[in-house]
Each structure stands twice: as C-alpha cells, then as structure tokens.
Structure 1
C-alpha cells in the first residue's frame, strides 16, 4: 500500500484532518483534534502507527512479528507500528485503521462525540 491510498482512506473518515505537527516527515491524521494514525513519509516501505486495544496489540504482534511492532515513539501498550511492505493485506490495514479511529472516537468527551455525530 502506498501513502496516497492510506491518506485517502484516512481522510474519508468523518471529521478526519491531516497535519504535520512533528515536521515534514510525519503525516498525522486526527479526528476532533485527537490522533488516530501517523505515517512516516521517509520510510520505505511505508510505516504507519495506529492505536490499538492493548490485548489485541499483543496478539497482532505475535501473529505478524515482521510487520506489526510496538509503536515507534509511541505508548507501546496502545500503539502499533505497521510495516506496509506487502505482508499485510489492504483489508487488514483498513480494518486496523478503522479500529484505531473507533478507539479514538470512543475516548472523546460526550460533547465532542455529539459534535462529531452532528457533522455532515
């Protein structure tokens, strides 16, 4: 998967935005100001960080040792780094991106979730 495919998928999510808060090499995707994905633009193959349920994160790392690692420069309990070198299917990458987005939305305040629900 390339960066444009991943970027377009993230930006298609409700209220998703993109920023470069850590410099030009790391593209961050947020929902309601909270990060749900980060893409390292200089890495080949592409590497992305996604939020993950801690128990699921451990399972994924065990099942995909070469492609899913503890989150680089992130809380390793809650974030995974995915190496998009062809071993992970696009469907799996999209499912894990959805999981990350949903976790972040679930952690929003009630006011923020209501505001998100009311967006077109």
Structure 2
C-alpha cells in the first residue's frame, strides 16, 4: 500500500472528507467531522494512525511489529501502522475499516443515520 492507494481506499468509504488541518504534511480523513485516519507525508517510512478498540490495539501491537502505539495520539485508542510489507494490504484495509466503523458508531444517531444512508 502506498499513499495513493490509501487515499483511494479512504475516499471510497461513505461520507469521508479529506483534510489538511495540521498543515500540508499531514493528511487527515474524517467521517461526520471526526478523524478516523491520520497520515504523515513527511516520514521516511510510510505510516498512518488509525483508531482501534483498546483491547484489540494491545493485541495487534503484541502480534505485529509494524503496529505501534499511536504516535502523538492517545495510545489507548490509536495505533500507528508502519507500512513495511510485513502485513497484507487486505489486513491494512481491515484496520482502516475498523477505525472508520468505530467513528461512525460513535456519531450521534442523526449523523450516523446520514452516513449509513450514503452507503
């Protein structure tokens, strides 16, 4: 996975917004105004942050070397994924989808229904 395929995948999700609120080097994807993925464009290695269930976050960190506590994020709820080729693109997409779904489910009912209506 590279930044272009990450972008395409994120934008394929319903109601996703692409923003640069932290400057031109930090790509942010939101749904319902809430962040589900952050990608720094100025790191030597391609990596991104995704939200994760706290128990699953720990499990993934223990199982995969490419999964680390969220860089500059709440480490209980966020993981940094280093795209180093050790896990498949399918798994990376699964983690992105999990993050997206967590955010959608946390939205107020009306906003959640609007997002789900766009599927």
Q: Secondary structure at the match of 2:62?
A: helix
Name the counterpart of 1:35. 35
Post-superposition offset of 1:26? 0.6
Name the counterpart of 1:70. 69
Q: Verify: 1:49 aligned to 2:49, yes or no.
A: yes
- TM-score, normalising length from structure 1? 0.95
- TM-score, normalising length from structure 2? 0.96
Root-mean-square deviation (CA), in Å?
1.0
Name the counterpart of 1:80. 79
Structure 1 segments (4+ residues) deviating >2 Å: 117-120
Structure 1 unmatched ranges of 5 or more: none
Post-superposition offset of 1:114? 1.7
Name the counterpart of 2:9. 9
Structure 2 unmatched ranges of 5 or more: none
Mapped partners of 1:89, 1:16: distance in 2: 23
Q: Deviations over 1:61-86 (max 9, x none)?
A: 00012x11000011100000000011
Equivalent pairs counted in the alignment come to 119
